[in-house]
Amino acid sequence: MNFKKRLKFMHLVGTLLTASPIGAMPLAVIISDGQNEESYAKGFQMVLQITDGYGFYGKGSPKIIMTDDGLAERNALNQIFPEAILLLCIFHFLQAFWRWVLISQHGIDKSERQETFSALKKIVYSQENELDNAMTDFENLSTYKENDLLKEHYEDMMERIEYWCKFYRRDIITRRHDTNNFSEATMRIFKEVILGRCRVFNFVELVDYIFRDYEYYHMGRICDFISDLKEFIPFFQEPNRKIKVGQKYLPKNSIKASDISKSVEGNFIVLSQTNPGFTYEVNPNNCSCNCPAGQDGSICKHLVGIHLHTDATLFTFPPVTHLVNHHLQIIMALCPIWINYPQHLTLQHLTLQHLTRTISRCQINQFPAQRTIVVQIFLKHLWMTH
């Protein structure tokens, strides 16, 4: 989440974003008249009313929300989404501490600033059996012992350590998303591409930009991503896909079928390849593993081993059903709508301004029904992470 500077007439634009294979995708856009708790709460409440309990992948409310350290915003989120886990963006947390250290009034000598920052960064990224030592190292700094302001600031941060320390995220499925930096890129796109670096003049015009240009921009991103899939259609055919996945994540094929067994609870037990006799447990329901690499829901080699050697259905590697193949063929059949699109250019070759102008001229805007089909297919088949 990210709420940026006022555009004009006291209007602020905020976005609820989710991660996807093509970057951040907006779930909702909120326009408020202030950066206070009441305005935020009203906007979030309107999101709930619009989704009517079916939003956020059918769960009704988000499970995890990552924000900057804004008290009013976080209080409003706690009020509207009481069951959600609120996390702080690690990047912005460390950036805020570095700025605090640089303020001369806080009395930290220039020669000790880097050491102080590194000591806190060590706490942030501490894993099991490392946190206590990292905290002790920070408290043993000469700067910490002599500076009362640093002590007070450190104690305030430690009261909320579960929001920013990675150790406390070990059992939270974040899929390795520890920052909300893509929200910064999203707002830059909105201001530079959608608004053309110009301030809108009234509320109605701002809403028009969001419902028209902003929506078309993201539809274009989705369709551009899907149009490139025609080169990889063989990848989606079994068993080719399993071979490709194995080559990418398990190149040495180190995990054999004999290394995998099933527990009474329905989880999979995989033998460790580095520690003989040690095993890891993989939960197929949320695609998480208790190994260091996969405990936050990220793809690890044990999860890939299960995908290669068992018939388990994992949403990390969604099965390619006849319905999926049918929809892929529909997408390919709609490829003529891209006849005016320069096929040799992709998102990574185009500037944002060029991409926007190209999408606006593309024939896809002349076929709203076909465009809707393509976008709905993209959103339906688990391309979006949740």
pLDDT at 107: 92
Scored b (16 or more CB within 10 A) or e, 2-14 reads bbbeebeeebbbb
pLDDT at 8: 45
Is 132 within the bounds of a domain?
yes
Q: Does 288 map to a domain? A: yes
In a domain, 385, yes or no: no
Q: Would residue 106 count as lying in a domain?
A: yes
Domain span at 52: 2-89+179-201
Q: Do 188 and 68 reside in the same domain of the chain?
A: yes
Residue 315 in domain: no
Domain count, the chain: 4
**Residues 227 and 332 grouped into a single domain:** yes
Residues 275 and 296 in one domain: yes
Domain boundary among 309, 342, 361: 309
One-letter amino acid at 258 equals: S
Domain end position, chosen among 271, 290, 309:
309
Residue 64 sits in the same domain as residue 189: yes
pLDDT by residue for the chain (386 residues), tens digit each?
555 544 445 678 889 998 887 888 898 999 888 888 999 999 999 998 888 878 887 888 899 999 999 899 999 999 999 999 999 999 999 999 999 999 999 999 999 999 999 999 999 999 878 899 999 999 999 999 999 999 999 999 999 999 999 999 988 888 888 998 888 889 999 988 888 888 776 888 888 889 888 988 888 787 777 665 544 444 445 555 666 666 677 766 678 888 999 988 889 999 988 888 899 999 988 888 988 888 888 888 898 888 888 888 887 776 666 666 666 666 555 544 443 444 443 433 333 444 344 444 444 444 444 445 545 544 444 333 34
Does residue 285 share a domain with residue 153?
no
Q: Are residues 116 and 195 in the same domain?
A: no
What torsion do the CA atoms of 90, 93, 96, 98 make, to the nearest 10 degrees? -60
Give the domain-ending residue among 289, 309, 329.
309
The residues near 156 (Cβ < 8 Å, ≥ 6 apart) are none
Sole residue written with tokens 């670096």: 197
124 in a domain, yes or no?
Answer: yes
Q: Indicate which CATH number applies to the domain containing 49.
A: 3.30.420
> Sheet containing 268-271: which strands, arranged edge to edge?
260-262, 268-271, 279-283, 288-289
Note whether residue 358 is domain-resident.
yes
Both 220 and 285 in one domain: the answer is no
Same domain flag for 190 and 85: yes
Domain assignment present for 208: no
The runs of H, that is alpha helices, within the chain are 37-51, 71-80, 90-102, 110-124, 131-139, 142-146, 148-158, 161-164, 181-189, 203-209, 215-227, 240-249, 301-309, 322-333, 352-361, 368-380
Residues 331 and 343 in one domain: yes
In whole angstroms, give the CA distance from residue 51 to residue 60: 8
- pLDDT reported for residue 333: 57
pLDDT at 322: 67
Do both 102 and 32 map to the same domain? Answer: no
pLDDT of res. 365: 45
Strand 279-283 and strand 268-271: pairing?
antiparallel
Same domain, 58 and 134: no
Same domain, residue pair 195 and 164: no
In DSSP notation, 182-228 reads: HHHHHHHHIIIIISTT---SSHHHHHHHIIIIIHHHHHHHHHHHHHG
